[in-house]
Amino acid sequence: MKITVIGTGHVGLVVGLCFAEIGHEVVCVDNDPHKIKTLEDGQLPFYEPELETLLSRATDSGRIRFVTDLAAGVEHSELIFFCLGTPPLPGGEADLSSVERVARQIARLSDSYKLVVEKSTVPVLTGERIRKTMQIYSREKGDVEFDVASNPEFLAEGSAVVDFLYPDRIVIGVENGRAEALLREAYAPIVDQTFEWRLEHPVPADRGKSVMLVTNRNSAELIKHASNSFLAMKISYINAISNLCDAVGADVRRVAEGMGYDHRIGPEFLKAGIGFGGFCFPKDLEAFIHIAEKNGQDFGLLREVERVNTNQIDKFIEKVRHEVWVLKGKTIAVWGLAFKPNTDDLRFSPSLITIERLLAEGAAVRAYDPQAMPEARQTHEQVTYAESALDAAAGADALLLLTGWSEFRDVDLAELHARMVRPLILDGRNHLDPEAVRAAGFEYVGMGLPQNGEAKPPAAVPRG
């Protein structure tokens, strides 16, 4: 098929390259000439595992083109995917100005049938707004036929390529059979698994055959926001539990394990830490609250999810103060800048928020991240950036682990101990093995973990 993807960000570029990988002819459109030139030169504008291989293969095969000319993209295909940014406005609602603008332009440029597919995360009823907008502006060229469908993305940064090619589910929201047939054809190689996996890493064992859920457009739009908000709620729940574990001397890892064995709950997203970040969860949570309130529904439950997430950094900073006492004049090492491992994305990163708090209290920060330092240097000039995890810890009064990169587990603990002024690790992701770290002579503080490595009974409750 011929497919057009508008937007080459973390979603659009993955969508375009993956569609090319399974055999379609793709045109990716972006209004940023520098980004398009970067892609034409065979370089990526951001880091995502497996994406470099896909770019090379799609470019060599001629199955993908990168252009700034929207008209060329509209002419190329009747199937057009919107992968546009929907950043939050001050009130929390999503900024849909890019979506509206591109819908108008497509309506004016089209002279044949088009199926516009929302891939961006948008509020429910956005599809209807797009349809009306295109209906109005298409009149300038006559009554051109078009449909609008919803096909929300469920791509996690760090595993986006696998998530697209081996998804848990593919959701399409359509209003007629013509739109459904086009989307079924586009995704047939993935649903039927008829393409050949030729990437660097093996397919995860838990990835089975994909399910395609066909529903109406409004339901599909809600599925995306409802899914992200539920996952955010699960993270905030286990973080609230970790705070209780801190208070009573329980081990949040064992609590989460015990919960996760229940098939109705499952183990995913039950890892305590300093809270979720990234561009999706905070933005989508706030937008979903706004959607509910706009439609007369009280979503106080999600307000509490937000509050717990915000407070996790406060609680972590309190742990740092408790251990270090006075932060002013101290050298604090930070491992991890990106909001999660296997990405260089710094948007809404809890690590950067924590660093800003440390700097505000007069601490000197030495940081290391395997991928995110080039961008961090542009925004956080007060931080000293190290070439390795060990270099970041040299001369440090404490080490804060804020992003769970796998390489941090492989650091030589003896050498790390020798380089630090005080061998103190505060693990904001419960990423390291507390027993091994303590055995190497470190003081170790985690989130919701007993200080001595063993759960202790709660303090006696007075009667009466």
Q: Residue ranges of the chain with pLDDT lower than 70?
A: 140-141, 452-464
Tell me, what's the pLDDT at 453?
58
Q: Hey, what CATH topology would domain 2-201 get? A: Rossmann fold (3.40.50)
Tell me, what's the pLDDT at 458?
44
Identify the helix (H) or strand (E) that includes residue 147.
Answer: strand 146-150
CA dist 92 and 341 (Å) reads 27
For 23, 68, 194, 198, the CA distances from 64, given in Å and listed in that order, are 10, 14, 20, 18
pTM summary value: 0.89
- Select from 345, 286, 341 the least CA-distant residue to 9: 345
CA dist 452 and 116 (Å) reads 58
Tell me, what's the pLDDT at 200?
79
Contacts of 326 (CB under 8 A, 6+ apart): none
For 390, counting Cβ atoms within 10 Å of its Cβ (0-12 exposed, 13-18 middle, 19+ buried), the class is middle
CA dist 331 and 365 (Å) reads 6
Identify the helix (H) or strand (E) that includes residue 222.
Answer: helix 217-248
Examine domains 2-201 and 229-445 and report if their fold is the same: yes
- Concatenating the DSSP letter of every residue in 102-143 gives HHHHHHHH-SS-EEEEE-S---TTHHHHHHHHHHHHTTBTB-
DSSP-derived letter for residue 452 is T
Domain ranges of the chain: 2-201, 229-445
* Burial 218-241, CB ≥16 within 10 A → b, else e: bebbbbbbebbbebbbbbbbbbbb
Beta sheet of 25-29, edge-to-edge order: 64-67, 25-29, 2-6, 79-82, 114-118, 146-150, 169-173, 211-215
Identify the helix (H) or strand (E) that includes residue 64.
Answer: strand 64-67
- Concatenating the DSSP letter of every residue in 338-379 gives SSSTT----TT-HHHHHHHHHHHTT-EEEEE-TTTHHHHHHH
For 53, 273, 376, the CA distances from 372, given in Å and listed in that order, are 20, 20, 6
Tell me, what's the pLDDT at 463?
41
How do 331-335 and 364-368 pair as beta strands?
parallel
Tell me, what's the pLDDT at 18?
97
CATH number of 229-445: 3.40.50.720
DSSP-derived letter for residue 238 is H
Tell me, what's the pLDDT at 175?
95
Q: Is 280 a catalytic residue?
A: yes
Amino acid in position 27: V
CA dist 173 and 35 (Å) reads 31
